[in-house]
Amino acid sequence: MQLSNVLSLDCTKSAVSCSSKKRALELISEIAATHLDQNPQPLFECMLNREKLGTTGIGNGVAIPHGRISNSDHAIAVLIQCQQPIDFDAIDGQPIDLLFALLVPEEQCKEHLSTLASMAEKLGNKKICKQLRNATTDQELYNILIDDEEVSVTPQ
């Protein structure tokens, strides 16, 4: 699966003013809800419930919040670059400024896991993270991930 199948330009936001983990998840939910034509509250609750199981802050300023959603037949990703880093209870204790969220239909668990693994690997690349942090527009942020051929994900 290509990342462009789940991440669109209108779900990619640069220089977002965000004050907390909760607010970041709310913003992601609002963006995804508009794209999915759904109420943002259940989307927010599914990501918040996942965070209660353990942080999705994977370290080095990156978080990959995710969850399974009902009433949808396709996955959606949201990429946010925060204006200022926020506390996200990351595993390394460092604040987060890059969030890649993934919401998938409940029946797409296998695809969900392989996409998360691929993004965790990609966002573990310091060069890519530096490019994402230096991006100044939504388009530039989007292009950094989409134009990279290694972004494609193959369900296992």
| 24-54: pLDDT as tens digits | 999 999 999 999 999 999 999 999 999 999 9
Q: Is 79 part of a structural domain of the chain?
A: yes
| 60-99: pLDDT as tens digits | 999 999 998 888 888 899 999 999 999 999 999 999 999 9
Domain extent, residue 132, equals: 3-149
Active site residue ranges:
66
Q: Domain total for the chain?
A: 1
Q: What is the pLDDT of residue 151?
A: 38
Give yes or no for residue 153 having a pLDDT over 70. Answer: no
Q: Is 80 part of a structural domain of the chain?
A: yes
Domain at 25, CATH number: 3.40.930.10
The count of residues in the chain is 156
Query: Which of 7-21, 58-72, 98-112, 124-138 comes out lowest in average pLDDT?
Result: 98-112
What whole-number distance in Å separates Cα of residue 79 and Cα of residue 13? 6
What whole-number distance in Å separates Cα of residue 81 and Cα of residue 13? 6
Q: Is 52 part of a structural domain of the chain?
A: yes
Q: Is 154 part of a structural domain of the chain?
A: no
Q: Is 156 part of a structural domain of the chain?
A: no
Q: Is 46 part of a structural domain of the chain?
A: yes
Determine the 3-state secondary structure of 151 from DSSP: helix
For the chain, the average pLDDT equals: 89
The number of beta carbons lying within 10 Å of the beta carbon of residue 117 is: 13
Q: Is 155 part of a structural domain of the chain?
A: no
